Amino acid sequence: MHDDRTLVEARLKRVLQERVRPAVHPESVPLEVAVWHAPGEPVAVAEGLAAASAPIAVGDRWGAPWGTSWFTVTGTVPERWAGRTVEAILDLGFDENMPGFQCEGLVYRPDGTPVKGLNPRNQWVRVGAPVEGGEEVRLHIEAASNPVILDYHPFLPTRLGDKETAGTAPQYRLARMDLVVFDEAVWQLVIDLEVLGELMAELPVESARRYELLRAIGRALDVIDLQDVGGTAEAARAELAGVLSAPAVPSAHRISAVGHAHIDSAWLWPLRETVRKVARTASNMTALLRDEPDFVFVMSQAQQWAWIKEHRPEVWAEVTKAVAAGRFVPTGGMWVESDTNMPGSEAMARQFVHGKRFFIDEFGVDNDEVWLPDTFGFAAGLPQIIKAAGSRRLLTQKISWSRTNTFPHHTFLWEGIDGTRIFTHFPPVDTYNCSMSGREIAHAATNFKDKGVARHSLAPTGWGDGGGGTTREMVAKAARLRDLEGSATVTWETPAAFFDKAEAEYAHPPVWTGELYLELHRATLTSQAKTKRGNRRSESLLREAELWAATAAVRAGFAYPYAQLDRIWKTVLLHQFHDILPGSSIAWVHREAERTYAAVAGELEEIIGAAQRALAGDPAGGTVGGTVGGTVVFNAAPHTRAAVPAGGAARADANDAGGDGAGVSGPTAREGGGYLLDNGLLRVEIDERGLVVSAYDLAADRETVAPGQAANLLQIHPDFPNMWDAWDVDEFYRNTVTDLTEAEEVTPGDEPGSVRVVRAFGASTVTQVLTLPPGAKRLDIRTEVDWHETEKFLKLAFPLDVHAERYAAESQYGHVYRPTHTNTSWEAAKFEACNHRFVHVGEPDWGVALVNDSTYGHDVTRTVRAADSGTTTTVRISLLRAPRFPDPETDQGLHHFHHALVPGATIGDAVREGHFVNLPERRVPGGAEVAPLVTLDDDAVVVTAVKLADDESGDVIVRFHESRGARARATLTPNFPISAAIPADLLERPVADPYPGGEPVSLRLRPFELVTLRLVRGPVA
């Protein structure tokens, strides 16, 4: 049989494009348009509605970059249209190929009531159905002239990404402002033809169903009078009714469609614009929900809900009605869809604390599902955090973007580092912007990896990022696909309903253990170093602020700043969004983030200072402990530091007398040039180039640096990835490397036991101070880089004389092991990975740690030396990049880093030294000894938070985990009266019977186990 599909497809495409779609609006009349351009930042709705406007014509240009224009459109429905459906078509100058990445609008009635959003695929506003004729129409449009950053050539540098450099040239041309007749029959015919044509294109050539569709489409096209489409639309639809009513086969794949609009909380637009994107989309979706009874829409990111509540109360009112009806569904339970690789342990926990609490407080909704479609990989510690937050399911899609290996499952159990398993689904539709096209639906069915044992998948459906969400066309297509032969079936459902079905049918899903590594976007671990430093510093300061404020509240009656800490946490969590912390946003976002982090640091320093002063007492008079004069040393780290207990404070004289008494000599001159440092524990040789050629562990009688090589070696690579400049680093970058060995200056430093090294290269300079502190087997390396390179990648290398087939990198509440070899494509793909405070490389009896105060990206490679057949394991810290898109000035300027080389380190040593570098001691005038609120007798059990309970009861919350990957027995002793110690989840809700008060709490922890205890203050009952 001859296959006429190609001919029918070509005919269908032309008839739809040139005749049928235009006939949806067979008559039109122009609207009158006036505009007011807001002079600065967006204004309140009332101000925009009241502003005096001037006439503007279709075809005129409007909209400076990042500007706001308020359009007023007016007109009268013609009397001859009585009894017909009428809409307004409001085209601001859209490019339909780019929903979400250009101008947008929100339509208001004259009384300020929001109607719906305007977007490239959603330009209509219903006027009446039917109209009487003669109605006066008056609508207002708050239009945002956001510039196009991600164009068809998406990686060209642009200055449009910052309002300060974007200029004032108008970006758009007003395209259409009309009242139109809407022909329902023609519109339905368009959907019929699109659904059947797209399905036909996906069916195999030998399929009888394909020929049924081909013939039915051909008959329908024959019936259409191209000069009277409206008059023949119903007859054409009748030719299609038979094939549209044929039911799907019982074994068809089943898709749960979920209305969705993935909105990046900042990316190619600033935070303030996301506030408006969310309001536009929410207005669009509440309007669609009113028109479509089967439709369900979900929205994640509690921050975005909070923005609507705060900034758009008129939109919030409609949203809350739809939530109450069960149609507009809060999902995900996180404050934002954050990056999950780089946030620290407590920050990752607080994403769930603040996200879930918002939905519980506002709507009584406690989500089981975590919704993270677009995050750049998933840390191995996340499953137990999800469980500890009271959730048990995860949805993501991003792993389908991996470039090397195809993930083997779509529905599976994900096992984290402590053994916790989370039911996880990757939608096989391979997009979080599904449009219900036949190609997408067919791909979901054929791509599904778990056929034979499962047949349900989920399709997040709608345009994101301000594209307007789900459209009425998508809903109409889904209705036809509900039960259609040759297609997967489609039903609108909530994520909870989908997961219930998926779990029920898949009793024994496969298990994936360890991190979900994305084989793409690896450079996001390094781009925008100042943003990453701001995040790490904020996390550390928040830990200190909570610890000392809680201690001062219990010990000295200090007023715990509940509301202030809550606000600051939410600010820090917002900036962990997966395009802010990863460094993949426009310049405006990162410039603003730098200011925000500075303000956060200022507030937290004030809290810390006030709490410590309350604890330390008056150095010249009476104190909390009755002691007079002196200095008090505070230690926020979870390990004892000299004579200062973890989480407590001691007088400086006691602290300064602590330690093992080892001093430090030098720097002394080294034969051949350079300097020698020695503190009795570690002997370090720094050669005339400022490179570390020896770091000798004196107790172990062991060299750290690989023979013939040098550590503290700065290396620079060209860095021009094939795509996604700020996001990606491709493996071929390693093919070319320049070792920066020339030094301008190698001299003794200003403090004892230090050497100062200055280098110049390109247009940049590096100043390093290498210090061997007394009493510590640790070489501190403080690096200042004045960076002015372009498309370069700067690394700091440490070739180690260690034979290791794997290494450990700290992650949330523990660490993950990664191979140093490349036996398979899975290992080879991990050529750039994430760590938190440390990387550890070790043999069974001896190891080396590299700790840091703000870097995340690194690589570890292993080579065999020809001279002695020994193994060199090289750890390289990623310091800086210089991509030009989307921020052409990425990382330009001054940067500071603190790293430390720790020879002879165990995992426990790496944990301790990592905390010490990130939580330096503080000295405050006073004379009081400050006992920790709690003590633990096993250093393997690490406290990550001490705070007062969020419910303002005064109870103390302590969170801790086993940090070394082994079982632990520990005793927690509260150093204040408690009536009970209650095991709790992250939201501080009881999860088990309490331990009795008045006695220490005996604990048994499995490897990496996370525990939260609520210590109820008061006398023992």
Residue that is written with structure tokens 């303000």 in the block: 599
How far is 423 from 414, CA to CA, in rounded Å?
6
Residue type, 742: E
Query: Could you check whether the bond before residue 130 is cis, i.e. omega within 30 degrees of 0?
Result: yes
Instruction: Tell me which residue of 150, 126, 174 sits closest to 465, measured CA to CA.
Output: 150
667-697 per-residue burial string, b: 16 or more CB within 10 A, e: under 16:
beebeeebbbbbbbbbbbbbbebbbbbbbbb
Structure-token pair, residue 631: 């200095």
Number of CB atoms found within 10 A of residue 958's CB: 24
The string of DSSP letters for 617-664 reads --TTS--TTS--SSEEEEE-SSS-BTTBPTTEEEEHHHHHT-S-----
- Taking the C-alpha atoms of 496, 501, 505 and 509 in order, what is their torsion angle to the nearest 10 degrees? -20
Neighbours of 159 (CB within 10 A): 15
Q: At what angle do helices 5-15 and 208-223 cross, to 10 degrees?
A: 40
Q: Which two tokens stand for residue 38?
A: 């807001």
Spell out where 246-344 has E strands. Answer: 254-259, 297-299, 328-330
Q: Is residue 566 annotated as a catalytic residue, yes or no?
A: no
20 contacts: CB under 8 Å, gap ≥ 6: 186, 189, 190, 193, 224, 229
β-strand 67-76 against 136-145: which pairing, if any?
Answer: antiparallel
Question: What is the distance between the alpha carbons of residues 559 and 743, in angstroms, rounded to a whole number?
Answer: 52
Which residues in 47-78 are b (16+ Cβ under 10 Å) and which e? ebbebebeebeeeeebbbbbbbbbbbbebebb
Quick one: tokens of 18? 């040139």
Position 419: which residue type? Answer: G
CA atoms within 13 A on the CB side of 104: 31
Burial (0-12, 13-18, 19+ Cβ within 10 Å), 571: middle
CA distances from 849 to 82, 330, 802 (A): 79, 43, 11
377 within 8 A of 516, measured Cβ to Cβ: yes
Interatomic CA distance for residues 350 and 673, integer angstroms:
51
- For residues 247 and 241, what is the distance between their CA atoms, to the nearest angstrom? 12
What whole-number distance in Å separates Cα of residue 642 and Cα of residue 136?
Answer: 80
Instruction: Out of 60, 374, 483, 938, pick the active-site residue.
Output: 374
d(CA 938, CA 149): 53
CB atoms within 10 A of CB 152: 9
The residues with which 490 forms a beta bridge, in sequence order, are: 255
Q: Is the dihedral of CA 122, 127, 130, 134 positive or negative?
A: negative
Strands (E), 865-930: 871-880, 893-903, 922-925
**In whole angstroms, what is the distance from residue 192 CA to residue 172 CA?**
34
User: DSSP code of 399?
Assistant: G
In sequence order, what DSSP letters do the residues of 325-355 get, joined into one string?
TTSEEE-S-SSS-B-SSSS-HHHHHHHHHHH
Q: Specify the DSSP class assigned to residue 469.
A: B
The residues annotated as belonging to the active site are 374
